[in-house]
Structure 1
Amino acid sequence: MSATYGYIRVSSRDQNEDRQVIALEEQEIPKQNIFMDKQSGKDFERPQYKRMVCRLKKDDLLYIHSIDRLGRNYEEILEQWRILTKEKGIDIVVLDMPLLDTRRGKDLMGTFLSDIVLQVLSFVAENERSNIRKRQAEGIAAAKARGIRFGRPEIQVPEYFGQVVTAWEKKEILPQRSQCVLDKLERGSV
């Protein structure tokens, strides 16, 4: 008996996946058959994706919201599509692109049209990934030019830090006595 699955991907933990969840819920996919990864689409090294692929069997049906949710690497998208449809023997429905519904047009012309659309959309997905990275680099450069600092805030070391390092190097500070030495240095009695 065939089963219906859904796959959701967002690029980071703080991104919202609600629109994809709603779209898959409208397809009445059982919750236990919806898999979600919160990481980049640059490759297919995603734990939930791999878990889902292991569960897929011949004649199962996979829904994804859009091709870029599957991935953002042109060649890998085409390869995964081939693995899923040819090796696994499943059907795929890309909700925002009705031409990418492998249940329809299984004749030569339908397959040809689906392949062309898949190639174009895969190219666009990878190109968008490149554009995102370029825009991100430009944004970081502009922020740095405005004096914005990135990373953790700098920690100010106490005035007596050099004395602590010297005492530690001379083996005058042992782990169990280090707090006592620090207290003395703060008071200026060492």
Structure 2
Amino acid sequence: MKIGYIRVSSKDQNENRQLEKMKQLGIEDRFIFIDKQSGANFDRPNYISMKNIIREGDLVYIDALDRLGRNYDGIIKEWKEITRSLGANIVILENETLFDSRKFRDMGDLGKLMEDQFLSLLSYVAEQERKKIRQRQAEGIALAKAQGKHLGRPRIALDTLSKSQIDILENNYLKWKNKEITGVKFMKMLGLKKNTFYKILKEYAARKSL
């Protein structure tokens, strides 16, 4: 049976490129497993689900080694568990010439030795790349903070509201104060979440009192 495993680092990333590859290989949708989270560990719900259905002789396709994971020891452990304990095979599409466990299996003990060497090398490279990414992120955050830049989502304040939001605020503020409309309704009208809504109203009230 053909199985496909796909991983992207976050919910914002698109898995379509990897998914298209799996479909071109003729893998059924029900046997394609997708996780949207970091590759730092293997505690991923769909990865675990995939391993639970793997049987001897199955063929697992993965786009690139770092899609399997980015942890040096973990990659080696998981690879050996799938190929040796579960008796399945793995093909890494990005490095198919080197990483097709069927080729190593046919070479017996020598194949295992060669597979271990290649796997150690490439998983080490994958982990080093993860470390470099984290270092670049840390350096970028430090630089942004040093330059006084705000990180994360843009802060919503009274002055950042649109003209239509300001109009809604001005036309309904007293109605809310007089309990003619509820806070929940007012929030929806303004399109704001609870904490931001009360922060904006506090700012608006302070400005009106000046």
Confirm or deny a common fold (TM above 0.5).
yes
Aligned residues: 162
Report whether the alignment pairs 1:127 with 2:125.
Answer: no
Q: TM-score, normalised by structure 2?
A: 0.71
- Shift, 1:113, TM fit: 1.8
How far, CA to CA, are the matches of 1:151 and 1:76 in structure 2? Answer: 31
Q: Deviations over 1:106-131 (max 9, x none)?
A: 22232222211111111011111111
Q: Which runs of 4+ in 1 moved over 6 A?
A: none
How far, CA to CA, are the matches of 2:85 and 2:45 in structure 1? Answer: 20
Which is worse superposed, 109-118 or 29-38? 109-118
How far, CA to CA, are the matches of 1:115 and 1:89 in structure 2? Answer: 16
The equivalent residue for 1:171 is: none
The equivalent residue for 1:7 is: 5
* 1:28-107 correspondence to structure 2 within 5 Å: 28-97=26-95, 98-106=97-105, 107=108
Q: Deviations over 1:78-116 (max 9, x none)?
A: 111111111111011111112111111322232222211
Q: Deviations over 1:22-65 (max 9, x none)?
A: 22122111111000000000000000000010011111110001
Between the two structures, name the one with larger relative contact order (CA 8 Å, sep ≥ 6). 1
The equivalent residue for 2:20 is: 22
Gaps of 5+ in 1: 157-178
Gaps of 5+ in 2: 159-176, 180-204
Task: Give the structure with the larger helix fraction.
Answer: 2
Q: TM-score, normalised by structure 1?
A: 0.78
Q: Among the aligned pairs, what percent are the same residue?
A: 45
Q: Which amino acid aligns with 1:104?
A: K
